[in-house]
Amino acid sequence: MKLEMMQMIDIELLKQQALELKLHGVLAHWDEITEEQYPWLAQLITWERAERKQRSLERRLGSARLGRFKPMSEFDWQWPAAIDQQAIHALMQLGFMDTASNIILLGSNGVGKSMIAQNLGYNAVMRGHTVLFTTAAAMLNDLAAQDGANALQRRLKHYARPSLLLIDEVGYLSYSNRHADLLFEIINRRYEKCSTLVTTNRPFGEWNDVFPNAACVVSLIDRLVHHSEVIAIEGESYRMKEAQESASKRRKTKKRGKAI
């Protein structure tokens, strides 16, 4: 009796999986499938599910546009003068996405904000989420360049749609009122629906310099920080450190070459 029950459960599970995979041909002839064919069918469905899962992952990774980045295992936690390591590790668990909360990574150039954002994006993709990584300049210039209301609406939906939107380098350039309005529109569309991560080198008190004379700055910041966690990273540029070390190695190599 127990064996028959297990077989019934397995058969029903296979049918449900075939339905999820939209194997309409198989479903149309379901009653013709014999018990001898169930092992073969189970293997077929397993292959199909694995292949579709892999293709979905590849599509999401491609759409995320994360670019090249170092894994967090290579992050030098000793370099920043101040960083909340536990908070960063907690972010990597993606719990903030469950509540559509936002993340603000604040710090000067080269302290690892982009690296952390890209790793977060990668983790989200691997867990089945849709992700998009972009710089503020690329996104805002893209939106501002749209010719016509319909084209603009399509691009706004493009940036509003992902489960996690990563906006890098807010504050490195100054923008017009038009750009400020477009950023507000994106944040407003995602507000309390999807998570947004922003990296910036400017505290919010200086965002009026980033968007000079823009009337929406207060509202933009209000929506961005309402459900958010702000993580500040203090320190010198790690990229500058690497560049100086590389230059030092080159000088030493040249001196050894001359000595020989």
pLDDT at residue 62 in the model: 94
**Domain identity same for 234 and 112:** yes
Reported confidence tier of residue 2, pLDDT bands at 50, 70, 90:
very low
**Domain identity same for 195 and 174:** yes
pLDDT at residue 131 in the model: 98
Reported confidence tier of residue 160, pLDDT bands at 50, 70, 90:
very high
pLDDT at residue 256 in the model: 66
Neighbour tally for 188: CB within 10 Å: 14
Read off the CATH number of the domain in which 179 is found.
3.40.50.300
The answer, yes or no, to whether residue 129 has pLDDT greater than 60, is yes
The average pLDDT across 60-78 equals 95
**Per-residue pLDDT reduced to its tens digit, 28-66:** 878 877 666 777 787 888 888 888 888 888 999 999 999
Instruction: Please state the separation of Cα 224 from the chain's center in Å.
Output: 17
**Per-residue pLDDT reduced to its tens digit, 162-188:** 999 999 999 999 999 999 999 999 999
* Candidate from 12-21, 33-42, 209-218 with smallest mean pLDDT: 33-42
Q: Domain for residue 81, yes or no?
A: yes
Q: Domain for residue 36, yes or no?
A: yes
The answer, yes or no, to whether residue 217 has pLDDT greater than 90, is yes
Close Cβ partners of 153 (under 8 Å, ≥ 6 residues apart): none
The answer, yes or no, to whether residue 243 has pLDDT greater than 70, is no
pLDDT at residue 50 in the model: 85
Q: Domain for residue 136, yes or no?
A: yes
Helix crossing, 136-144 with 149-160: angle to 10°? 160
**Domain identity same for 174 and 215:** yes
**Domain identity same for 58 and 118:** no
Q: Domain for residue 252, yes or no?
A: no
Reported confidence tier of residue 26, pLDDT bands at 50, 70, 90:
confident
Q: What is this structure's pTM?
A: 0.80
Which is higher by pLDDT, 249 or 48?
48
Residue ranges of E strands in the chain: 102-107, 131-135, 164-170, 195-200, 228-233
Q: Domain for residue 192, yes or no?
A: yes
How many domains does the structure of the chain reveal? 2
Hey, what amino acid is at 253?
T
**Domain identity same for 76 and 58:** no
Reported confidence tier of residue 13, pLDDT bands at 50, 70, 90:
confident
Show the domain range for 12: 2-63
Last residue of a domain, one of 32, 63, 94: 63
Q: Domain for residue 251, yes or no?
A: no
The average pLDDT across 122-143 equals 97
Q: Domain for residue 253, yes or no?
A: no
- Give me the residue label for tokens 């982009």: 114
pLDDT at residue 5 in the model: 39
**Domain identity same for 128 and 197:** yes
